[in-house]
Structure 1
Amino acid sequence: MSERETAQAISDRAAAWVARMDREGHDPAVRAELKAWLAGNDRRRGAYFRAKAAWNMLDRASVLGAGGPQSYEVAAAGGPWFSRRRLLWGGGAAAAAAALVVSVTGLDFFAVPDQQIQTAVGEIRRVPLSDGSLAAVNTQTSLDVTMKPKVRQIALKSGEAWFQVAKDRSRPFVVEVGDLRVRAIGTAFGVRQTAGGVDVQVTEGVVEMWRVGDESHIQRVAAGSRVFVAPDKAIVPVVAANEEIDKALAWRTGQLVFDGDTVAEAVAEFNRYNVRKIVVTGATLGGQKMIGRFRTNEPDAFARAAATLLNAQVKIGSDRIVLSQN
């Protein structure tokens, strides 16, 4: 660390690290980078702990609050209210306020989650959680479960899961996907992370959704509705979609349902669940529409059905299945 690095600069950098860890803390490379920065000087570690304490208090307030302005503020003892932005980016004043709010002695910000769940290609698991909730975890999914006294946190790092949440009004159940938060108290909902964004499907009760840093704009989503959130874009209006949700969540029983989906879309779904991939050749075959219900682990049955319905050819090999135009 340079001798010219001021306390203000250290405090500002610590605040930036706290915000980054909230977004990217699941990434081992980011965690390693933070550890290297902290090792540079004891003052850095102290500043980080103080900024993290302030963030934790604000996170707790935002989770437990009802959405009003004070839900996202915290008071120093005998002092004024500070917003999250002001606490994190206000430098030394923020650190002093955080120190008055909570003691940070003994906190471990690199603690391993209570439960880490990962599924392989084609694997679908039903996992009971320690609070009595149930997680149905789809193929190629990774998530971390952390049960705290005041909040239940699920970090969905990749893939898809459906949660049947045990009712506990004192401990909200919050799923984190990047900077998106989905909160429930007692309900059932599915969350899928894709390259294009996050798809949330509510099957029971109500959930609330917001982006970190934009907690004043909370979207409520009721049972029978779904929301798709693209990266760095506002939460789109809720769409009522009971039948679509039933179809999208058929994977929970090991099935895939197609009703007007294109062959290309159906093939992409099958390829999520199987090591042996389906390949479509021909300019127009991929755009043909499909209707049917299939087992996730039977791509050959799907390929034969598609070939029969669409007057196509199918070649089933040990490493791949080829659908081609006649």
Structure 2
Amino acid sequence: MASVAEEAAEWLLRLEDEPGDAALLAQFQRWQAQDPAHAVAVKHMQGLIAQLEGLRPQSGVAHHALEAGITQQHRRKQLKRGVNLIAVLVLALPLGMLLQHYPLAYWLSDVRTATAEWQSAQLPDHSQITLSGHSAVDVDFTAQARTIHLRQGEILIDVAKDATRPFVVNTAHGSVTALGTRFVVSEDGQATAVAMLESRTKVATIPSTAPQTAVVTQGEAIKITSQGLGQIHVIDPASISDAWRLHQLVVQDQPLSEVLAVLARHRKGYLHFNAEALAHYQVTAVLPLDDTDKALQLLTESFPVRVKRFTPWIVTVQNISVTDSH
């Protein structure tokens, strides 16, 4: 049986599709009158959606170009996933926790993906971008430059050649200027990671810090933090390309807290964990991003952690050595 949130989401979607159907509107009003919980669920969703949509700026030329390749059916599926997720989170989580998981920059972005969603789009210059779950970018193309602002999440970029306009990806920690064609950039709030799959890029810290730059070539990766540039290290470009194609997470000696942060972007609902308590565990694994329950199970088999499910939408990962000592 569908939950009240799911039923409310479906009603809003039907009304969105058929705004002038008086009979449908009357049925909707009768459904709300059947149970006070129905009206509460609708009110929560309508209020939040109205606030968020009211904050979004008018779409620019670049945004229209991105939207052009998305079919109406895809948009409806995207809307349905978003409305269902908003419904569940609004009813289950405090507003502060909701905004922490979905900040305003996410809602204001030109292109964004919902939790557990993957989306590809063609930019006005014919470059290709692919966003993984819970990611957001702004597109700023002018006659002089091509700029992508990665607000959160992870993006795979295939850059089209244009000798007259540099292609730059900006994040909160620095910038990545394409000197080649294919690379991955991720931003988790604490650091920006760049992985070079083909050719090379130039990375730089933000201007407000002591300026640091480096050239990252194919088969190399680097992190940018508020402290500056990290060490360049070797990666396997083929494995990373396969991971994007198969929706997998490939990690080598990566802190468990960072792995869980990626899983959280691909899990519908809220995944809670103490990053500080889990940061010292190093993970080397291949995890399925389209099945986060299986990914969490694999982690519990290798590390002293426990997964507790309060509801299907609220899950916590605990360090057993810490919880058992109290």
Q: Is the 8 A contact 1:251 1:296 kept in 2?
A: no
Structure 2 CA distance, aligned partners of 1:112 and 1:215? Answer: 34
Aligned residue for 2:188?
A: 194
Aligned residue for 1:254?
A: 247
Give 2:145's match in structure 1, choosing from 135, 142, 151: 151
Unaligned runs of 5+ in 1: 1-31, 33-109
Instruction: Map residues 92-111 of structure 1 onto 2, 5 A cutoff.
Output: none
Secondary structure at the aligned position of 2:203 is classed as: strand
Structure 1 CA distance, aligned partners of 2:278 and 2:194? Answer: 30
Letter in 2 for 1:241: V
Give 1:174's match in structure 2, choosing from 132, 146, 168: 168
Name which of structure 1's ranges 213-222 and 179-188 shifts more when overlaid on structure 2: 213-222
2:175 is equivalent to residue 203 of structure 1: no
Aligned residue for 2:288?
A: 295
Give 2:62's match in structure 1, choosing from 107, 111, 114: 114
Aligned residue for 1:271?
A: 264
Query: CA RMSD for the aligned pairs?
Result: 3.9
Q: Among the aligned pairs, what percent are the same residue? A: 21
Give 2:314's match in structure 1, choosing from 296, 306, 320: 320
2:129 is equivalent to residue 129 of structure 1: no
Letter in 2 for 1:304: Q
Q: Is the 8 A contact 1:179 1:212 kept in 2?
A: no
Q: CA deviation at 1:165?
A: 0.4
Q: CA deviation at 1:322?
A: 5.2
Q: Which has the larger radius of gyration?
A: 1
Q: Structure 1 residues 113, 217: CA separation in 2 closer, same or farther (over 3 Å shift)?
A: farther
Q: CA deviation at 1:198?
A: 1.8
Structure 2 CA distance, aligned partners of 1:215 and 1:314? Answer: 42
Q: Is the 8 A contact 1:126 1:136 kept in 2?
A: yes
Q: Structure 1 residues 221, 113: CA separation in 2 closer, same or farther (over 3 Å shift)?
A: farther
Give 2:224's match in structure 1, choosing from 214, 217, 229: 229
Q: Is the 8 A contact 1:208 1:218 kept in 2?
A: yes
Name which of structure 1's ranges 181-190 and 247-256 shifts more when overlaid on structure 2: 247-256
Structure 2 CA distance, aligned partners of 1:290 and 1:217? Answer: 29
Q: CA deviation at 1:124?
A: 1.6
Structure 1 CA distance, aligned partners of 2:137 and 2:289? Answer: 22
Q: Structure 1 residues 148, 215: CA separation in 2 closer, same or farther (over 3 Å shift)?
A: farther
Q: CA deviation at 1:262?
A: 5.4
Aligned residue for 2:25?
A: none
Name which of structure 1's ranges 305-314 and 126-135 shifts more when overlaid on structure 2: 305-314
Aligned residue for 1:45?
A: none
Q: CA deviation at 1:196?
A: 1.9
Structure 2 CA distance, aligned partners of 1:217 and 1:263? Answer: 28
Say how many residue pairs are matched. Answer: 215
> TM-score scaled by structure 2?
0.53
Structure 1 CA distance, aligned partners of 2:196 and 2:282? Answer: 27
Higher helix share: 2
Structure 1 CA distance, aligned partners of 2:256 and 2:210? Answer: 40
Unaligned runs of 5+ in 2: 1-54, 64-109
Structure 2 CA distance, aligned partners of 1:171 and 1:298? Answer: 40
